[in-house]
Amino acid sequence: MEKDNVTTDQNVLVLGAGQLGAAVLESLVPAVTAQNGSVCVIVSPGSFDEDGNLISETHQKLADAGAKFIAVDVADSSIAALKPHFVGFDTVINCMGFVAGPGTQLKITSAVLEAGINRYFPWQFGVNYDVVGKGSGQPVWDEQYDVRTLLRAQNQTEWVIISTGMFTSFLFEPAFDVVNLSEKTIHAPGGWDTRVTVTSPQDIGRLATAIYLHQPKIRNEVVFVAGETTSYGELAETVEQVTKQTFTKKAFPLSVLLDQLRLHPDDQMLRYRAAFARGDGMWWPMSDTWNAQNNIPTQDIASWLRAYFH
């Protein structure tokens, strides 16, 4: 096949099989297998029991579907140690998020480039780091900007960045303190007009697979997807409508969050609240999304909530 098309018989390596990785693999494994390709998954050594069996039922189901799981301690591996694990794969899809610690994304990206991989989907399933730039108050986001710089400075490995905004579920994470369903509180980082884009991991998995397979091949592009783009004010209305309950509502201006951050500089969730309070780079119009332009339906916040309650 010509270079512009995605070829069959692809050997694909997926890094990580957590919430996002599992969602990607659920769509990707049958799609790649149908094209006579193979999917390998790197997970931490702790994912296996002492007999070498996968501990997680989700992982075992993916293995039964055809994915091959291998154990690598990515966090503790150097670039030189990672490179041999990557060599020989056509595409690497990185679903290993920030849990592996600072510096991991640059290390993985460097190893991918040194291994001479044809096509790389970095862990950029988040906000628009080109707009956010550096100095957002989130050190891991600074690193994400550096990953983009590294990829754009070379032309050997093609890359595809999928910008998804926040995971829909994160809006309802009690520690993030935007919507707390049990406490019946809604807080608006930045203010009620501040906007945010969210996508569910299941939709990201389906869309990432569709973007990977798309003909002609998508290359060296930032692709935007979304389940919904909303303001925190609209979010509050949606939550109250779906739950048929009244919530206590309070806005946290950016200046207040930055003051709190000065007192508690190591508070990870506070850093996130301050970053999302900025607004810029945290959202994009639905009309600009790949899914809207290709008429692919996605789950909005109301339907996510209804599914959560049933």
State pLDDT tens for residues 151-194.
999 999 999 999 999 999 999 999 999 999 999 999 999 999 99
- Give pLDDT, residue 7: 67
Region for 54 from its dihedrals, namely left if φ exceeds 0, alpha if ψ lies in -120 to 50, beta otherwise? beta
For the cut 50, the answer to whether the pLDDT of residue 1 exceeds it is no
Angle (nearest 5°) at CA 23 between 74 and 68: 55
Whether residue 216 contacts residue 210, with contact meaning beta carbons closer than 8 Å, is answered with no
As a whole number of angstroms, the distance between CA 207 and CA 296 comes to: 8
Q: How confident is the model at residue 2 (pLDDT cuts 50, 70, 90)?
A: very low
Structure tokens at 121: 């989907």
pTM for the whole thing?
Answer: 0.95
| Assigned architecture for domain 11-167+198-227+281-299 | 3-Layer(aba) Sandwich (3.40)
Predicted confidence (pLDDT) per residue in 56-115, tens digit: 999 999 999 999 999 999 999 999 999 999 999 999 999 998 777 889 999 999 999 999
pLDDT(5) > 70? no
Residue 15 pLDDT level (bands cut at 50, 70, 90): very high
- How far apart CA 37 and CA 246 sit, in angstroms, is 51
